[in-house]
Structure 1
Amino acid sequence: MSAMQELMAYQRDTEALGQIAGRLGWDQETVMPRGATEQRGEEIGALEGVLHARRTDPRIGDWLAKAEPADEVEEAHLRHIRRSYERQTRIPARLATELARVTSLAQGIWAEARGRNDVGMFLPTLKQVVALKREEAAALANGGDLYDALLDDYEPGATAESIGAMFDRLRPRLVALREAVLGAAHQPAPLEGHFPAEAQMRLARMLASAFGYDWTRGRLDLAVHPFSSGSGNDARITTRVVEAEPLNCIYSTVHETGHACYELGIDPDYLLTPLGNGVSMGVHESQSRIYENQLGRSRAFTGWLFQRMTEEFGALSVADAEAFYGTVNRVQPGYIRTEADEVNYNLHVMLRFDLERQMIAGTLEVADLEEAWNARFLADFGVAVDLPANGMLQDVHWSVGLFGYFPTYSLGNVYAGCLNKALRAEVPDVDAALARGTAAPATEWLRDKVQRHGGLYQPREVIARACGEEPSEAPLLDYLEAKFGDIYKL
């Protein structure tokens, strides 16, 4: 075997073990018994130790030095493996294992603290997670910015400076649009009533099917915080149900379906290789956000959804499909990021971006996080946080060590705006299909332009190739102003 062949055979086993680790995480968040938390932490820590040893094996360095790529696919394989090897060899095995163990435990502690609205119960563990992530960042940064080192895990090539500049360009128009919308004379009505859990889950499965989810390679379960997990031929989704708020379940499901369809749409030749996953979280979020918003919250699709809702739940508190479209897109300064409207959503992300940068820099102590969160939320949204579960305890991310992940949600929104513009220019029958309850023309275009490539190209290159131009914030902002100006009769 050539060096390239030996490296890829070795990598295939590493990728398979990584999938097993992901499945343990899925199990922990869905069906694992509560009493197994500490044991699961030990199991995940042990598996991470094995994975870290494989990812830092000196033979990888030898193979990389000798491997001769035959085409752009093999060049991309080497790019990913080299990047992973260089990063992983900077992290001590002890640290990798301890991070896996502690974040596994922290997830369960966070979930219990969230359920009890008890910040104090979570703070000691979060302090430990932050300390470990700062140690990891220092190992990776090689004297550079600590936050950039963590951000690079989720969006290669991005920096805190570039993300901050993007937010500076987004904020003025978003704030102006929000003020205009909240001051408008016309205000869509909220959806009220009781919506049984079983019916919500039936509808959730129907929606996943409408967006092309392959049930032979996936499943839908309940979780405290909705997520998707896996890739290749096993990409699973979760949602959550609140019987007074069915739109939460509906759009969480559509969002996670977007993530899973990305993974399921990758070229099968890339299975269990470095190209067999989404290339970055920003590109990943572009898929979940365009499924959820530009497609799922469109006038065409909500017209179809209104009929399905009345079939499942009887007469709704809103009169007709047009009123329902306004209700689905209602702008409100709510507490919860995952339930936020398109106008407010990026402002939620900006808050988290700033706070986690401060924690990693050491300028914000974990003990002061709740106070800092509540003050910033009041300043940004004009509403005082009522409960920790609606404040700093609402997201799972920090408990599992995902520092640097939050800004990719907004980057995904920007990418989705670009993709939506290109999609509608190239596929004129998108809305006609959505009105029939199928997203097939849109999802087929996305599969061809984005999803099938997996990790073949760099993140921004994927979007630029799909859209025919470099990504920018303009398409997203133009879309938001046109859509909400219409809904609110501005």
Structure 2
Amino acid sequence: MMADVYEALMAHARETAAIEQVAGRLSWDQETMMPRGAGAQRGEEMAAMEGVLHARRIDPRVGEWLAKVDPVEVVAKAQVARIRRSYQRAMKVPARLSQEIARVTSLSQGIWAEARAGEAVANFLPTLSQVVDLKREEAAALASGGDLYDAMLDDYEPGMTGAECAAMFDALRPRLVALRERILASPRKPEALSGSFGADAQIRLSRRLAMVFGYDLQRGRVDTAVHPFCSGSGDDVRITTRVAEGDPFNCLYSTIHETGHAAYEQGVDSDLLLTPIGGGVSMGVHESQSRICENQLGRSRPFTEWLFGEMRDRFGEFGIQDPEAFYATVNRVSPGYIRTESDEVHYNLHVMLRFDLERALIAGDLAVADLEGAWNERSLADFGVAVDKPSNGMLQDVHWSIGLFGYFPTYTLGNLYAGCLNQALRRDLPGLDQDLAKGELGAANDWLRENLRRHGGIYSPRETIARACGEEPSAEPLLDYLETKFAGIYGF
């Protein structure tokens, strides 16, 4: 009897997961191929899809099935726990609110893109205010009297709180700031990349890099978008990148980053496909996959030596004389505006800025109308650069336009996890650098799949990392890695 109930519950969950993938494809289309004039209609379509999904998530039968099942097998236990969590959260949010959030954030995304292109913050603020109000209402329903920001963060990193994130940032900041000061004081100044690099050649090389990092293009595709992202799971996982002819690193490393996400989704065991635990367990763990690919592997000395040869083959001479100089250029530390283009030393400081601002927004301590001023003031204080235009400031990220409050801290959590994974990966693969120097990541991809990716959401986020690394995650491996790497580049 219990087996029959479990099968009925899972059949319902699989259908729900399939519909969620269809909804995700609508979002992918909106950012890549949708006609510009279709925004309003797409908002209604997304609201309708969310209505169908919400009804399925709160179906009374789900509650009845959950009351009758208590599996002991590890995978079944994880499936039921994930379904129960989704059911309990969905029951707290009215269908009307769920649909309105889907409709408004779909519209808001297009409004943000237009405002960003036109450097017009004022055109975006009314919609952003609407998004913030809706998300605060949703958080209040979920929090049941608790902290609103914690309820939002729990969507992306289950079990994490804003206070824990703040403590993590407080632990990271002193060593990051001290490292930055030593770097900026160094007489060594790696040269910046300059010149023009054709868009078509960049895209061809980015596809090559995606395959090197384990992306199966038979089950995916590479497109361009305003803000790079990964979408989908299982046998249909899509990524986007963006191209600037004067900055090929933007395209190439965005591609490597998104490939880390995609390889995680493609690497989950096929038996879990279209089930509640058939994808990444959390955004922090997801970011660990994108960041280890982008940074610890993709910006390593041996891999950049290989990449130097690939770029010369495709673009000819481009002003950097040798692989060692190229390694320094790839890892050049410079205060700047853009999070996605920032070096490893500054990246987490960018995340801290966003975390503090969005937490203040949700708490009601910062008005949406004052957000641009607060951003610009904080940017000047943290990076020593005055924001010159909104696309380099508060309009640079898509996240707030689509309601992803509580998402930003997972980037730094992912960096922390990546530091731990890199330490374990190098312990287990002593020949890794020799592979990287040849542009071969098969062993590294296999290690990541076997030790982390294939498990999907079977284990909790921290348990997933601990099982892969053989110890509990901490900030020390990341900080030690950064200090060792940049001391070598900058000579201190």
TM-score by length of 2: 0.99
Partner SS for 1:272: coil
> Residue by residue, what CA displacement relative to the aligned partner does 1:25-84 show, whole Å, maximum 9, x if unpaired?
000000101010100000000000000010011111110010132511000001100011
Residue ranges of structure 2 left out of the alignment (5+ in a row): none
Aligned to 1:67: 69
User: CA separation in 2, counterparts of 1:207 and 1:438?
Assistant: 10
**What's 1:233 paired with?**
235
Amino acid at match of 2:445: T
Deviating beyond 4 angstroms after TM superposition, the runs of 4 or more aligned structure 1 residues are none
Look up the match of 1:173: 175
Letter in 1 for 2:471: E
SS at match of 1:229: strand
Distance 2:71 2:21 in 1: 26
Q: Measure, in 2, the Cα distance between the counterparts of 1:147 and 1:14.
A: 27
> Partner residue of 1:217?
219
Q: Is the 8 A contact 1:2 1:67 kept in 2?
A: no
Aligned-partner Cα distance in 1 for 2:167–2:72: 39
> How big is each residue's C-alpha offset from its partner over 1:186-216, in whole Å with a ceiling of 9 and x where there is no partner?
1110011000100000110110011111011
Which amino acid letter does the alignment assign opposite residue 185 of structure 2? Answer: G
C-alpha distance in 1 between matches for 2:296 and 2:221? 24
Question: What is residue 339 of structure 1 aligned with on the other side?
Answer: 341
Tell me the SS of whatever aligns to 2:401.
coil
2:121 maps to 1:143: no
Cα displacement string for residues 283-320 of structure 1 (whole angstroms, at most 9, x for unaligned residues): 00000000000000000100000000001111021111
Instruction: Give the drift of 1:175.
Output: 0.2
1:350 aligned to 2:352? Answer: yes
Q: What residue is the counterpart of 1:153 in the other structure?
A: 155
Deviation at residue 270 of structure 1 after TM alignment: 0.2
Within 5 Å, which residues of 2 pair with 1:79-478?
Answer: 79-478=81-480
Q: TM-score, normalised by structure 1?
A: 0.99
Letter in 1 for 2:28: W
Using the alignment, how far apart are the partners of 1:480 and 1:153 within structure 2? Answer: 29
User: For residue 363 of structure 1, what is the amino acid of its counterpart?
Assistant: D
Q: Distance in 2 between matches of 1:40 and 1:482?
A: 49
- Report whether the alignment pairs 1:17 with 2:11: no
The question of whether the paired residues in 2 share the 8 Å contact of 1:222 and 1:238 is answered with: yes
Is residue 429–residue 441 contact of structure 1 (8 Å, CA) maintained in 2?
no
How far apart in 2 are the matches of 1:360 and 1:320?
49
Shift, 1:443, TM fit: 1.1
Identity across the alignment (%): 68
Mapped to 2, the partners of 1:253 and 1:142 lie a distance apart of 40
Superposed CA deviations along residues 129-174 of structure 1, whole A, max 9, x for unmatched, are 0000000000000110000000000000100011100000000000
Deviations, residues 462-487 of structure 1 (Å, cap 9, x unaligned): 00011111100000000000000000
State how far apart, in whole Å, the 2-side matches of 1:309 and 1:72 are.
47
Partner of 1:398, secondary structure, is helix
Query: Tell me, which stretches of 5 or more residues in structure 1 are unaligned?
Result: none
CA distance in 1, matches of 2:129, 2:9: 39
Cα deviation, 1:239-273, whole Å, max 9, x if unaligned, reads 00000000000000000000000000000000110
Q: Could you say what the CA RMSD is over the residues aligned between the two structures, in angstroms?
A: 0.6
Partner secondary structure for residue 377 of structure 1: helix
State the alpha-carbon separation in 2 of the partners of residues 394 and 100 from structure 1: 22
Paired amino acid for 2:82: H
How many residues align? The count is 490
Question: Residues of 2 paired with 1:132 and 1:274: CA distance?
Answer: 26
What letter is aligned with 2:328?
G
What CA distance in whole angstroms lies between the structure 2 residues aligned with 1:160 and 1:489? 37
SS in 1 for 2:239: strand
* Distance in 1 separating the partners of 2:451 and 2:393: 38
How big is the shift at 1:439? 1.3
Q: C-alpha offsets along residues 367-399 of structure 1, whole Å, 9 cap, x if unaligned?
A: 000000000000000110000000000000000
AA partner of residue 188 (structure 1):
P
Moved more, 282-291 or 203-212: 203-212
